[in-house]
Structure 1
Amino acid sequence: MEDLINPLKEAVIRALQEAKTMEQLETLRVRFLGKKGELTSVLKSVNKFSIDERKVIGYEGNKLKSYITERILELKSKIENNKLKNKFDITLPGTDFEEGTYHPITIVQRDIEEIFKGMGFMIADTNEVETDYYNFEALNVPKYHPARDMQDTYWLENGMVLRTQTSAGQQHLMEQFSPPIKAIIPGRCFRNEDIDASHENTFFQLEGIVIDEGISVANLIYTMETMLSKMFEKKITVRLRPGYFPFVEPGFELDIRCEICGGKGCPTCKNSGWVELLPCGMVHPNVLKYGGINSEKYTGFAFGLGLTRLAMMKYGIPDIRAFNSGNLKILKQFK
């Protein structure tokens, strides 16, 4: 029996000494332990021998099989460790991992949220894809109303719409909560706009709504002035202009003096010295009725703050297209 197993042992030892790569170890394994391997063939042939001879061949053969398997695993581990040593040099400087940065609109949104939370507002999140009802009808904009044409809407094949304004979330809040309601709804909006320095087809707004007894325009003005002063950390010059929006009555346009040019006139403000920041006004009684709220008892105000334009003013960014450009040289400037 020694003549049968010993030559295999010697061949295995030589092969293990010569194996230096993973490929060579695999070749060695197949040579001796594969289905047609040399050791496998010996173990399969034991039926030709006597019972005593089978015991010896089986014992010595399986012992050699275990030895081959263990040595292959050891050599594989050694090869892997050598690879790591060759790749890693403890004397070299470490790899710099660059920190990510927040998008400027995200920074502005979080700052605004903190300001409004300090004023007792809750933060709500509503749908970017809306039904016609929530985006238009429940906001006092029935079918064929001219205001629909002003918003250049993206309609989907199933009849739903990419929301044109965060105002679409107002009715969701009125359906879930009873007055008093004091909430903001930040989020992304979509309009089929001609893109220029101050217009984009994808932009961010922050809707605000307050509904309670005795709410007036004075509450609206105070809230806006407080928020803007905290946001810019200085007194901001604002102006109110009459504005028509079907979901508020009366309605206003709140403009701020252009922080890019200081009011002198530039492409961002279309050389007017003012930037339209947010439409606002007293919530229309019809909108309250759609929300199941008694318009005889409750009043409220609403506003739609342009987060994208606010970020332009805060950081002095003259072109709105920079936000969606993917230009990391611009975006990495913000922390």
Structure 2
Amino acid sequence: MSDLDQLRTDLLAAVDSAEGLDALDAVRVQALGKSGTVTGLLKTLGGMSPEQRQSEGPRIQGLREAVADAIATRRDALERAALDARLASETLDMTLPVDAVAAGGVHPVSQVMDELAEIFADLGFAVATGPEIEDDWHNFTALNIPETHPARAMHDTFYLAGDHERPMVLRTHTSPVQIRAMKAAGGTQPVRIIAPGRTYRSDSDATHTPMFHQVEGLVIDKGITLGHLKWTLETFLKAFFERDDIVLRLRPSYFPFTEPSAEVDVGYTVINGKRVIGGDPSQGEGGWMEVLGSGMVHRKVIAAGGYDPDQWQGFAFGCGIDRLAMLKYGMDDLRAFFDGDLRWLKHYGFGALDVPTLSGGVGA
């Protein structure tokens, strides 16, 4: 009995005096390991008589539990002390500036394309696409542009070299999508689409680039008039510029694929020396700015799309997406859209998570 009491005292003292986790683990192995002193005492229970096991077993088991509990308590104390020492030695200066995280942005052209899709979706238009490498039938002939038309000249159009069944070009406008959309409808269903995308012409200055973006709209149905065209454009421009005081002026013009044709001007006013879209120019300082080309679809174009021009009518319109972005967001040089200058994009671009949305829509 005195031997067990002395062993308990010695082991508990060794646990309390362990100054580190390694020293404490050594005490654990010495007492409770496979060859430990307490483990050895437990093994002797098998050779005792039932009376001896009944009296000695609880004492030895009690010794084992006391040592195990002491080791667990000491381990917690040592771990807390080690953490406190680490926290005391490791400091973080919260006054230092945080390194900026690189973030992408939405290009103004992409933003305007999203806005266009949103507006025209509310008006019942679908988005249609087509190839950027076109044959000259879709790009010119089907749109009533004869072989002698200046738009076919080499200085305007990029022609592709090689042997082809038809001459191939980089499309000069997104109007070929109109023909493809009509063909897909089979000449029996109404068509209401917009066709945004890249186009190509041999031109470059502050307001022109060899590659630029256009959006065209097409409506084919029965009983379509110029009144439908004017209302659609007025509703679109009010929603896009988010102003109810948009004033339009339609000027007679000429496009081979529409008849009659009209250039669409929008009124602007001058505020603090800058042109601002909106307001009636006749009521003060301001003027007119051309933003769109439009007209009633030519009979030959309707026929080329597979429709009977005696039964079906339609209107079409088109404008430069890059120009719309310049007008709405105050940019003055089209070439900067394609320079790849990150400083420009940071200034004019839109955060991926906080791009502006159209507050008014077209429901008003």
Match of 1:322 in 2: 336
Q: Does 1:256 align with 2:270?
A: no
Q: How do 1:181-330 and structure 2 match up within 5 A? A: 181-193=191-203, 195-234=204-243, 235-257=245-267, 261-262=274-275, 273-330=287-344
Match of 1:73 in 2: none
1:184 is aligned with what amino acid? I
Q: Secondary structure at the match of 1:305?
A: strand
1:106-153 superposed Cα distances (whole Å, 9 cap, x missing partner): 101100110000110001111111000000000011222344349800
Q: How do 1:1-335 and structure 2 match up within 5 A? A: 96-149=100-153, 152-158=156-162, 159-177=167-185, 178-193=188-203, 195-234=204-243, 235-257=245-267, 261-262=274-275, 273-333=287-347, 334-335=349-350
Residues 282 and 302 of structure 1 are in contact (CA less than 8 Å); yes or no, is this contact kept in structure 2?
yes
Residues 263 and 274 of structure 1 are in contact (CA less than 8 Å); yes or no, is this contact kept in structure 2?
no
1:160 is aligned with what amino acid? M
Q: Secondary structure at the match of 1:262?
A: strand
* Alpha-carbon shift at residue 274 of structure 1 (Å): 4.0
* Alpha-carbon shift at residue 91 of structure 1 (Å): 5.2
Residues 213 and 320 of structure 2 are in contact (CA less than 8 Å); yes or no, is this contact kept in structure 1?
yes
Structure 1 CA distance, aligned partners of 2:287 and 2:157? 29
Structure 2 CA distance, aligned partners of 1:240 and 1:276? 10
* Alpha-carbon shift at residue 95 of structure 1 (Å): 5.3
Gaps of 5+ in 1: 1-88, 265-271
1:279 is aligned with what amino acid? G
Match of 2:52 in 1: none
2:125 is aligned with what amino acid? F
Q: Secondary structure at the match of 1:174?
A: helix
Q: What percentage of aligned pairs have identical amino acids?
A: 44
1:166 is aligned with what amino acid? T
Structure 2 CA distance, aligned partners of 1:153 and 1:206? 19
Residues 259 and 314 of structure 1 are in contact (CA less than 8 Å); yes or no, is this contact kept in structure 2?
no
Match of 2:19 in 1: none
Structure 1 CA distance, aligned partners of 2:176 and 2:269? 29
1:135 is aligned with what amino acid? N
Structure ID, larger Rg: 2
Structure 1 CA distance, aligned partners of 2:269 and 2:317? 21
Structure 2 CA distance, aligned partners of 1:320 and 1:273? 22
* Alpha-carbon shift at residue 239 of structure 1 (Å): 1.9
Residues 151 and 157 of structure 2 are in contact (CA less than 8 Å); yes or no, is this contact kept in structure 1?
no
* Alpha-carbon shift at residue 237 of structure 1 (Å): 3.2
Match of 1:33 in 2: none
- What TM-score do you get using the length of structure 1 for normalisation? 0.66
Q: Secondary structure at the match of 2:344?
A: helix
- What TM-score do you get using the length of structure 2 for normalisation? 0.61
1:163 is aligned with what amino acid? R
Q: Secondary structure at the match of 1:244?
A: strand
* Alpha-carbon shift at residue 256 of structure 1 (Å): 2.5
1:226-256 superposed Cα distances (whole Å, 9 cap, x missing partner): 0000001013333211111110000111123
Gaps of 5+ in 2: 1-89, 278-285, 351-364
Structure 2 CA distance, aligned partners of 1:123 and 1:227? 15
* Alpha-carbon shift at residue 331 of structure 1 (Å): 1.1
* Alpha-carbon shift at residue 168 of structure 1 (Å): 1.4
Q: Secondary structure at the match of 2:102?
A: coil
